Amino acid sequence: MKKALKIFGILIVILVIVIIAVPFLFKGTIKDKIKYLANQHIEATVDFSDIGISLFRSFPDATVTIDDLSILNKAPFEGDTLAYAKKVTLDMSINEFFKDASESINVEKFVIDQAYVAIKTDSLGNSNYDIVKTSESDTKSSSSKEESDPFTFALEHYEINNSKVLYKDDVGKMTLVLTGLNHTGDGTVSGEKVILNTKSDTEITFVFNGTNYLDKNKLALDAALELDLDQQRYSFLDNKALVNQLPLEFQGYVQLFEDYTDVDLSFKTPDSDFKNFLAVIPAAYSKNIENVQTTGNFMVDGKIQGKVDDTYIPKMDINVRSNNASFKYPDLPKSVSEIVINTALKNETGLVDDTYLKIENLNFKIDQDVFNAKGLFKNLTGNTVVDLAINGTLNLANLKKAYPIDLEQELNGILKANINTHFDLESLEKEQYQNVRSTGVASITNFSYQTPELPNELKISNARVDFKPGTITLQEMKATTGQSDIAAQGKITNFMGFLFAKQNLKGDFVANSNKFVVNDFMTATAETPEKNTTTTDKTESTAEESIKIPSFLDANLAFDAKKVQYDNIELQNTKGSVKIKDETAYLTNVTSDLFGGGLGFSGKVSTKSATPTFGMNLDLSKIDIVQSFNQMELLKGLAPIARGLTGLLSTQLSLDGDLSKDLTPVLTSLKGNALAELLNAKVNANATPLISKLNNNINFLDLDNLDLKDIKTKLNFENGNINVQPFSFNVKDIKVTTSGSHSFSSEMNYKVSLDVPAKYLGNEASSLLAKLSSQEIENTTVPLPINISGNYTNPKIDVQTKAAIANLSQQIIATQKQKAKDKITETGKEVLGGLLGGNKEQTKDSTNTTTTKNTTEDAIKDAAKDVLGGLLGKKKKKKDTTKSGN
């Protein structure tokens, strides 16, 4: 007995050793098998982080786990992920480990966790799942295959957990997304057939040709599938589906042939309660339907039959019907009654272009308002043709009273429509609006609309739209919001293209207003962080939303407003036009009365780029300086000193630059130029620190005598600086010339030159002026340089009196030299005249005495010495005989 137990113990130890050793011994075989599969069969990059093998988990079978398995596409989808799985688990017999890498391995169970599969077809028809390599064996008959499949399946169970599948077809313009996918299947063998009992649940999203038909709708499916692998026929035996909460039963089969696929499926709702219709609507919108009171029926049934190949699709006949139904939510005051639905999706030929949707009748009633629609949509996958008729009345306030719909804004008003339209999408895309035939009228009265994008409620008392072939005319619209009123008329040339072909909305409108308050259409923005509080800083808060010009508008608007108010600025009789296109607004011929004068404006604003930009030409004529510089931030930055002036101003500005997110100019980005003219302006010396300081520092400068009539100056803007070209004006008898620059932060660098009468320079100049006659003093002026720096609130004024005194000294020296030259010239003339005149007298009059002759000769000699000495600069002093005996 002890010997037997000993032998049994030895066997147990050997078995444990084998169980532990096998994963290490055969791990390489599985890796080789996967690499073989990838290299021999797939045109893609296959990778994984690790492979594990265990004999304990499913003993006596073995379990293989593959972590982070990925399949990456090659060109033309280079680098795209075709498939990824966090973990793949395979159960198989231990015998499979002893097979060569080229032999097939039989898998009994597999589990895939957290997978992502992206199946794509691009616009050129390339598919990313076409990754299987072709080989010579593919061209031979199935009876002469030289290779076996690397894996075969005798499945007892499989699972796909918490996964996502994306199918995107750019050719067919469709996208299908399954999220949160869970799918399990248990298989049994019955003769030559395999029976799979499956359970699935997911959320499905389906978009076709830009229209979202399903948006995360819940889908549950219990299906029994019969797989005839030999005939490649897959039958649905006992199947139940749940779309949201709508139950469906379906049956049929799909069979694969060499050149085509045969499909024969049918489905229907198991009962006809109208609550099934509410069940189709996503739960987020239909809310809790358990307690909804309903009457009437709702039925869905359909057949999909026929072959599928490169030419044909299955024929289909899918019907949705309801007759005289109603529903009422217990917590809401209104009910929806007289509901009639009769809709069919059909294809009778198997040709895809012959698929059509027919709305025989769609009708409902809320209170006394009845709404009805009929229509036909043909050629759904090609050039879709729409024939639609809408007729009815709808009190918008009753929508929320009858159905638990979440609206961000409350709606009110009576909508009436009686419209017939016929068009094809290709005509819309090519803007061939002569092919669009729309007739009828739509109107809305007493409409009110509250939105976070407007600070006040928008109220439309009346609006009427007439539909005619080619155009839609806004006959009238009267609206108010806040203090503003608007009356508009106009035409929309492509309303159907806007609705169905994703075109920009095109039209021409005329708007009038008695009072238009801009702040009624602007909301307060989020508070900007401290470091970005200045409007001159290009950096903006990332939390602050930008104001954008709508990209879908391509319209012209002519406007006439008696009064426009923007912050504290009021414009009178504002007229002009604006064209909006490509996220840019072009304003032309804008005129207005402003600050007692006139305004002319043209320019553009664009929000197309990340940083909004603008360009403008502004003409201000004879506007009041005090009002304009107190109320217009731009003028304050251009010429802050003008705040100390009174009178009238005319200016022409040409500017371009960047805008902040609320569309105010970023002053440091401005480029351009201006021509400004002051008309009859006067100075208030105490209005600004700069003028006050000038007035105090220069005691002879009396700014009350400042003559600023018809002063003109040119400015240009660049790199945040305003450069002022030289201009001159007079302060009584003093001419002032100024030039320089300042920044929008009011930092100054100016040079001022005053042509000052010399007598104003005071004691420092008195000794110099003593050398001049009173007449000369009166006529002598000196340039007095003044440098101005600092800023307008704390200016630094450097009056360079020493430079003026030096200049005066140079002037006096120059004057003295000129006097000496004039004296020499005059004396020379007298001497020469005397010489010439004396000879003649001696000739004529011989009675002159000897004394006269001697006197004249001495005078001539002295004068000659003076002239020569002065000219040569070597005039010697006469000897002082009183200092020596010589």
Q: What is the pLDDT of residues 190-223, one digit of tens each?
A: 556 788 888 999 998 888 767 677 778 888 989 8
Q: What integer pLDDT is reported at residue 856 of this predicted model?
A: 45
Q: What are the tens digits of pLDDT across the range 506-530?
A: 888 898 989 888 777 665 444 444 4
Q: What integer pLDDT is reported at residue 403 of this predicted model?
A: 87
DSSP at 512: E
Give the separation between CA 657 and CA 675, rounded to whole angstroms: 18
Q: What integer pLDDT is reported at residue 55 of this predicted model?
A: 66
Q: What integer pLDDT is reported at residue 525 of this predicted model?
A: 44
Single out the residue of 71, 183, 87 nearest to residue 119, CA to CA. Answer: 71
181 pLDDT tier (thresholds 50, 70, 90):
very high
The residues pairing with 650 across neighbouring beta strands, listed in sequence order, are 677
Q: What are the tens digits of pLDDT across the range 596-638?
A: 888 888 888 888 888 888 888 888 888 777 777 776 766 766 6
Q: What integer pLDDT is reported at residue 814 of this predicted model?
A: 74
DSSP at 769: H
Asked if residue 187 lies in contact with residue 229, where contact means CB atoms within 8 angstroms, the answer is no
Give the separation between CA 494 and CA 471, rounded to whole angstroms: 7
DSSP at 526: P
Q: What integer pLDDT is reported at residue 105 of this predicted model?
A: 65
Number of neighbouring beta carbons within 10 Å of residue 79: 9
Residues of the chain with pLDDT > 90: what percent? 13
pTM, rounded to two decimals: 0.57
Q: What integer pLDDT is reported at residue 844 of this predicted model?
A: 46
Q: What integer pLDDT is reported at residue 180 of this predicted model?
A: 93
Single out the residue of 337, 368, 348 nearest to residue 303, CA to CA. Answer: 348
**Which of 236-240, 434-438, 834-838, 840-844 bottoms out in mean pLDDT, i.e. has the lowest?**
840-844
DSSP at 169: E
**Which of 238-242, 280-284, 330-334, 376-380 bottoms out in mean pLDDT, i.e. has the lowest?**
280-284
Better pLDDT: 39 or 137: 39
| Average of per-residue pLDDT across 257-265 | 90
Q: What integer pLDDT is reported at residue 536 of this predicted model?
A: 40
> Is the pLDDT confidence value at 8 over 50?
no
Find the helix or strand (DSSP H, E) in which 241 lies: strand 233-243
Q: What integer pLDDT is reported at residue 849 of this predicted model?
A: 46
* Distance of alpha carbon 860 from the chain centroid: 97
Residues of the chain with pLDDT > 70: what percent? 70
Give the separation between CA 182 and CA 164, rounded to whole angstroms: 9
Q: What are the tens digits of pLDDT across the range 635-669?
A: 766 666 666 677 777 888 888 888 887 677 887 78
Give the separation between CA 340 and CA 337, rounded to whole angstroms: 9
Q: What integer pLDDT is reported at residue 860 of this predicted model?
A: 44
**Which of 83-87, 97-101, 299-303 bottoms out in mean pLDDT, i.e. has the lowest?**
97-101
Asked if residue 520 lies in contact with residue 513, where contact means CB atoms within 8 angstroms, the answer is no
Q: What integer pLDDT is reported at residue 61 of this predicted model?
A: 75
338 pLDDT tier (thresholds 50, 70, 90):
very high
* CB hemisphere CA count around 857 (13 angstroms): 6
Q: What integer pLDDT is reported at residue 319 of this predicted model?
A: 94
| Average of per-residue pLDDT across 256-285 | 82
Q: What integer pLDDT is reported at residue 827 of this predicted model?
A: 63
| Average of per-residue pLDDT across 19-32 | 52
Give the separation between CA 698 and CA 263, rounded to whole angstroms: 103
263 pLDDT tier (thresholds 50, 70, 90):
very high
Helices and strands (H and E) in the chain: how many? 13, 40
372 pLDDT tier (thresholds 50, 70, 90):
very high
Q: What integer pLDDT is reported at residue 335 of this predicted model?
A: 93
Token representation of residue 287: 């809310």
Residue corresponding to tokens 């006097």 = 819
Stated length of the chain: 886
Q: What integer pLDDT is reported at residue 179 of this predicted model?
A: 94
Q: What integer pLDDT is reported at residue 822 of this predicted model?
A: 67
Give the separation between CA 54 and CA 66, rounded to whole angstroms: 12
Q: Average pLDDT, whole number, for the chain?
A: 76
Give the separation between CA 304 and CA 637, rounded to whole angstroms: 74
Give the separation between CA 478 and CA 475, rounded to whole angstroms: 10
695 pLDDT tier (thresholds 50, 70, 90):
low
